[in-house]
Amino acid sequence: MSDLPKYLPLSQRPRRDESGVSSDWSERVSAVLTSLAALVDDLPPDAQAGVHDDLARLVWLLRAGRRERFVARVRKRRPFAGDTDLVGALRELAALPRRRPIGDLAAAVVTALDVADTAQTTVDVDPVTLGAVAVARALSAPLPIRAVLSGVTLVAADADWAVGRGPETRAVGAQIVRFLYGRAGIPTTIPEPGDDEVERPGE
């Protein structure tokens, strides 16, 4: 996890001057929204309809202020956006000059993964972005997930970050994030390149 800690002001790295560290994740939120908009734009109309609610939740969340979010949480409901052009709304939000906390980044990443899974496709998310979201979630996840992380280290096989402690399990970074947010089960170890377990063509 050599590169990721510099993006996390509250990480357990050695003490040093952190005046240049920012808690603003707006650039990474913008990048995820841009990738998500491109993904949805390429989907056929029926597939776009299938992910409408996920997109509407995200658009509402990223537009809402703290008071709106608090009221919606208390009432246990969210007034989802009424936009018909949700792709346009995503691009508008990507260009909006607004500070974004790690929670907004997590919402954008998880929604992008959900939409990609529903549409049976993939979405491009930077490995460091996935790592930041994973680390933040590991610190505040529900008890059952933290219990898993107390006995295993989930290592991103396609990046340079890990969460948890204990014996290592290598998995794709996006799959680790899916597990941490309750979208999938505990990742299973994928073999190291060159392992005898790697399936060879024709086998």
* Predicted structure pTM score: 0.81
| CB of 43 closer than 8 Å to CB of 119 | yes
The reported pLDDT for the residue numbered 147 is 95
CB atoms within 10 A of CB 110: 21
Of residues 150 and 200, the one with the higher pLDDT is 150
| CB of 63 closer than 8 Å to CB of 145 | no
Q: Which two tokens stand for residue 31?
A: 């990048």
What does the pLDDT average to over 160-169?
A: 95
Tell me: the pLDDT tens digits for 49-93? 999 999 999 999 998 877 776 666 656 665 565 667 899 999 999
Tell me: the pLDDT tens digits for 85-122? 899 999 999 999 999 999 999 999 999 999 999 999 99
pLDDT band at 190 (very low <50, low <70, confident <90, very high): confident
Residues 6+ apart with CB under 8 A from 26: 97, 98, 99, 100
The reported pLDDT for the residue numbered 20 is 38
pLDDT band at 2 (very low <50, low <70, confident <90, very high): very low
Counting residues of the chain whose pLDDT is more than 70, the rounded percentage is 75
